[in-house]
Amino acid sequence: MLRLIAFAALGALVGGVIVIAVGPSTVGYTVAGIALPVFIISTVLTLIARSVGNAIGASPEAVQQAKDARRLGVARIDALRQTGTQINDQPLCELDLTVQPLQGSAFASTMRTVVPLTAIPMFQPGTERDVAILLDGGPEVAFIDEGELSPAERARLRVPGRGSVPFIPVEPHRRIVDGVRRGPLLGVGRAGRPARFALFAVVAIAAATVVVAPFHQAVGQSFAAMQDGRLRPDLRRPEALADAQRALEEAIGHDRVASITVAADFIIVEAPLSAGDTKADRWTYRDGAVTNDGAATSQPESTAEQFSWTDVALDRVWTLMHDGAEQVDRPVGDALAYVVRATDDDVHSPAFGRPAGPPEIMFSVGDDYGTTSFVADADGSGLTAR
């Protein structure tokens, strides 16, 4: 289970990094900030569990069952080695044992167990200890206090030399539960390793997908931008701008707007709460997601200031910027376009002085040596410098 958690956290971490690169960075940093410590902690715990793989998992119930069944014996400690791992500041040690049961043949084995520092003298090579044999035939044993064996039983038990008895290895990562060996939900041996790796990969991919899925549009746009050597899409380009328009229209619920601001990284729209309303909200499209920023700073005075998306040839914005930059021999740079109705200059009109004329596309290009402003008709024609 720890390994599944580790790979899920790894997948979430990768997903968070992807979101940082192509989506809302704050969301990506939050996900990565949670996934990274989970991955580290679960990995460390997995490594600790692996280091204690040969440790005997003996529950008090299993030991008592062995006592009741008189599966007892004497174990001689032939060698003690510290593994370098400590649990609760106590060393995890590897013990070479030779065991002589009350009933059955003697056997040798090697086990791992935590040996308190104060108890190390009791585990020196040559020391004999009473043990409970958890399963018939071993090799799992648990050290028990003296007194379970009668003096007569203890006297007749002679532990033979280690080289004269068969060696029975302890199966790693097993516990004795209800008289049977039980392993982890997922195996740890070579058998089934390809299937486990496939499962871990599926878990990691699924976790990454869950993180990235809400920002699939931004990811798709970024993959398309990579073909042009860019990490993020330029929203002034026709394809990305069309995606943004669709997302904004869907979120707003209608196609009426009072203004459109198009930048390389974001698009800001002021739109009425509903078609025909003069109360307007500000909407932002960034990193493939639309957010409602609340009431617009400037509220329209009449519905005459509004226009439809279809009234403006937004697919011409990128071309207009390059045409204007070419005219004045300056780079497009980070120029942004602003679309709003022209000011009504008819002194006899009730809307005189207000943005109630035909929609216009306005932008400026320049560098440190100067800036030139341009304006074009809504259909992308009539580009002129101001």
Per the DSSP assignment, residues forming a β-bridge with 371 are 366
Among the residue ranges 12-21, 81-90, 217-226, 236-245, the one predicted with the least confidence is 217-226
What value does the mean pLDDT take over residues 68-72?
A: 91
Q: Pairing between strand 180-182 and 256-257?
A: unpaired
217 and 248 Cβ atoms separated by less than 8 Å: no
Angle at 249 between CA 382 and CA 225, to 5 degrees: 75
For the stretch 1-22, pLDDT in tens is 778 899 999 999 999 998 887 7
Three-state DSSP string of 38-56: HHHHHHHHHHHHHHCCCEC
| pLDDT of amino acid 44 | 86
Q: Is pLDDT of 300 > 70?
A: yes
For the stretch 321-369, pLDDT in tens is 999 999 999 999 999 999 999 987 776 676 676 788 899 999 999 988 8
54 and 110 Cβ atoms separated by less than 8 Å: yes
| pLDDT of amino acid 13 | 94
Q: How far apart are CA 62 and CA 133, in angstroms?
A: 9
| pLDDT of amino acid 3 | 82
Residue among 335, 327, 322 at smallest CA distance from 367? 335
Please report which confidence band the pLDDT of residue 58 belongs to, taking 50, 70 and 90 as the band edges: low
Among the residue ranges 111-115, 197-201, 219-223, 381-385, the one predicted with the least confidence is 219-223
For the full predicted model, state whether its pTM sits above 0.75: no
| pLDDT of amino acid 232 | 79
Residue among 158, 148, 80, 71 at smallest CA distance from 113? 80
For the stretch 133-180, pLDDT in tens is 988 887 889 898 888 888 888 888 999 999 999 999 887 766 666 666
For the stretch 257-290, pLDDT in tens is 999 999 998 999 999 999 889 999 999 998 888 9
As a whole-number percent, the residues of the chain with pLDDT over 70 amount to 89
- The CA–CA distances, whole Å, from 230 to 213, 225, 333 equal 21, 5, 14
